[in-house]
A = this chain, B = another copy of it.
Amino acid sequence: MDLVEGGYKGLALEILKNFGIDVWSEVKLKTQETEFVGIVLPRSQKGDDRHIVLKLRNGYNVGIKVDKILSIELLGQKETKPTTNFRERLHDPRKPTVKLNSTGGTIASRLDYRTGAVVPAFEPEELYEFIPEITNFCNLHTEKLYSVLSEDIGPKEWIGIANAVARDIEAGYHGIVIAHGTDTMHFTSSLLSFMIQNPPIPIVMVGSQRSSDRPASDAPLNLIYSVKTASESDIAEVTVCAVGPVSDSYGLLHRGTRVRKMHSSHRSTFRTIGDIPLALVSKEKITPLRKDYNRRRKDRAFNAKITFEEKVALIYHYPNMKPDVIEALIDNGYKGIVIAGSGLGHVNNQLYPALKKAHEKGIFILMTVQTLWGYVQMYVYETGREIMSLGVVPAENMLPETAYMKLCWTLGQTTNPEQVKEIMLTPIAGEITEREPTNAYLIFQGGIPEIEEFISKLRM
């Protein structure tokens, strides 16, 4: 691939030509401040002419401003240049075959240099250009299911994703990776955990906080960790995989029903809430942090229940919230309400008559906690008992977002209140746990000695 085909132009093109460097070459690049060793990556069509992008040995991409560059030394041409067409690659029968389904999101986006905004634009084949390592683990088949940003995802896509997963399990794939926007990934991972129960293979969701074509994107590492997990892990659950908080040298694997996006821009945005993550993932190995997970099986059996009811609302309570908020849901024909209550599962007493009315109209009302960590406990205070007497059902330690998705899913099957209650309170995929370990509360940051030891062993 020549430099122009590789997307370079202007000043950047000139400098590469001056030093006799082609894309995909391994180089040592010196700037005034430091030096980098890495592979010259092609740029996207819309890239500027003022940066050269290197893939460093640690897996990161870095964009270096041309006016900082002192010299570029050729270390060696890459032996096998990646091709842009994955179909031309040879299938390696010794490796597992993994399916990557893209639904959109930042990981499948590019920076639009005209506006400076990130816009969706993704061809899964392009992954090979940017992250050749993923073929180390497996034969990768890719498919673009959707191209939406995840704030806009809804029942059509959720049902489509679940059907695609069911189809791909039946097709015999060794694991499935689903690329998805991070904004609402934890909603989709929860719903998928209920729609596809007891899967025989890993179903790993992945996204990124910065688009793949940007320097210092988290997309390459997240993809490497998630493809490795789908290829090699024994954990046959719906999970979310992303870089860990302390170091880029590992990723964390989160159970799909116990994960939440906790930072708007930090690369390590996903956190397991009220529990410890399922595993640490590095390029070298996958280290389970616990034993209570669904194991990979050779069979293709699983339980698909792809149902959905749209008329469900999620409400975070606040002091002085007025009953008109609840009454509007009654008037608009809602069938379910999940409340993220204050404290142990409380709402203010102005709301009691509206909740009573909602219950009498057959709306199923579930109580969770907006503290995110901890259990609903409605027997502790008189308030909680009164709210239960209005017909509100406490949901143990189900996260509010998980409870919202589970109620949409459950009400798609039945509106019989006793049946709804039984389904909602019977754990299917870890959404309710018997206890929350003490080191699972705002703690699992790698600050725990045993975990630090794990991590240090993972480092090369």
Contacts and interface: CB of A to CB of B under 8 A. Distances in A.
Interface of A: 112, 115-119, 149-155, 181-184, 187-188, 245, 261-266, 269, 271, 310, 313-322, 324-325, 328-329, 331-332, 340-350, 369-377, 379-385, 400-401, 404, 408, 441-443, 445, 447-448
A372 B262 contact: yes
A265 B374 contact: yes
Which of A115, A155, A182, A342 is packed against the most chain B CB atoms within 10 Å?
A: A342
B149 A117 contact: no
A343 B261 contact: yes
A183 B343 contact: yes
Contacts of A263: 371, 373-374, 441-442
B265 A375 contact: yes
A154 B261 contact: no
Main secondary structure of the interface of A (DSSP, over half): loop
12 contacts: A118-B381, A150-B342, A151-B348, A153-B319, A153-B348, A188-B319, A261-B370, A316-B316, A322-B332, A442-B442, A445-B447, A447-B447
A184 B317 CA distance: 10
Contact of A343 (B182, B325, B408, B441): B182
Nearest to A380: B118
A435 to B, nearest CB: 11
A321 to B, nearest CB: 8
B269 A371 contact: yes
A4 to B, nearest CB: 29
A74 to B, nearest CB: 36
Contact of A445 (B346, B375, B442): B442
Contacts of A447: 443, 445, 447-448
Given A346-B183, A381-B149, A264 B119 contact: no
Nearest to A324: B332
A264 B151 contact: no
A126 B264 CA distance: 46
A277 B377 CA distance: 28
Nearest to A331: B328
Nearest to A448: B447
Contacts of A379: 116-117
A244 to B, nearest CB: 12
B345 A264 contact: yes
Contacts of A314: 316, 318, 321
Question: 9 closest pairs, A vs B, by CB?
Answer: A447-B447, A264-B374, A328-B328, A183-B343, A183-B342, A151-B346, A263-B373, A316-B316, A154-B320
A380 B265 CA distance: 11
Contact of A325 (B149, B328, B342): B328
Given A151-B343, A264-B375, A324 B328 contact: yes
A373 B348 CA distance: 26
Contacts of A321: 313-314
A187 B264 contact: no
